[in-house]
Amino acid sequence: MESKDYLKDISEIKNLMNKSSRFISLSGLSGIMAGVYALIGAAIAYYLVMNFSYGTLILDGQIFRWVLVDLILVATLSIITGIILTTKKAKKHGSKIWDATSKRLVFNFLIPLVVGGLYILIILNQQKYGQAGALMLIFYGLALINASKYSIGDIRYLGFAEIILGLTAALLPGYGFWLWVLGFGILHIIYGTWMHFKYDVN
């Protein structure tokens, strides 16, 4: 056999290892959209708190409930957009959306996220809400890093960035809102754009 054939073997081995263990159809565009939703959601929350709540948020107040609805809406819209755009991309590549690799990805992404979510709910219930924004960023970052082993590796860098922002937010509680906007809004848009041009175009 020529060494050219061996080279072909090696590249096929790499390709099969990737295809069988990683879900690579994640759409960059859905990252951009998640960022845009987060920015719109943050603007609405900011408007609500500044105009109806005298700049402070009371945990069992009416405005707090609206901010929660706003937050859930942003998360739901991001997830739906992500599923639609990723399905589209997977179809184009001729790969399945719900197979062993994507199940593994979702499962491993959800472990830190659900743990973090429950933890935040628990401390909110104990009236310790100063750290909620920081914790959201930190646990989201951990979820991304955990998921990166089962998808495009670049996701881990977004995860690291979110954790750094989260720790900064913990140090500077007064800037929590703006670091949250930076982490969930701006970073998603930057990351999504980068992924879009790296993997989706061409």
The reply to whether 50 sits near another protein by the rule CB under 8 A is no
The phi, psi pair for 113, rounded to 5°, reads -65, -45
Per this entry, what is the length of the chain? 202
Minimum CB separation of residue 191 from another protein in Å reads 25
Q: Which is nearer to another protein, 14 or 93 (CB)?
A: 14
Alpha-carbon distance 33 to 140, whole Å?
17
C-alpha distances out from residue 100 to 16, 86, 106, 109, 144, Å? 14, 16, 10, 14, 18
Site for another protein in 87-106 (CB under 8 A): 99-100
Alpha-carbon distance 88 to 93, whole Å?
9
CA 146 vs. chain centroid, Å, equals 12
Q: Which is nearer to another protein, 72 or 99 (CB)?
A: 99
Q: Which is nearer to another protein, 149 or 196 (CB)?
A: 149
The reply to whether 153 sits near another protein by the rule CB under 8 A is no
Minimum CB separation of residue 7 from another protein in Å reads 6
The reply to whether 11 sits near another protein by the rule CB under 8 A is no
Binding site for another protein (CB under 8 A): 3, 6-7, 9-10, 12-14, 16-17, 19-21, 99-100
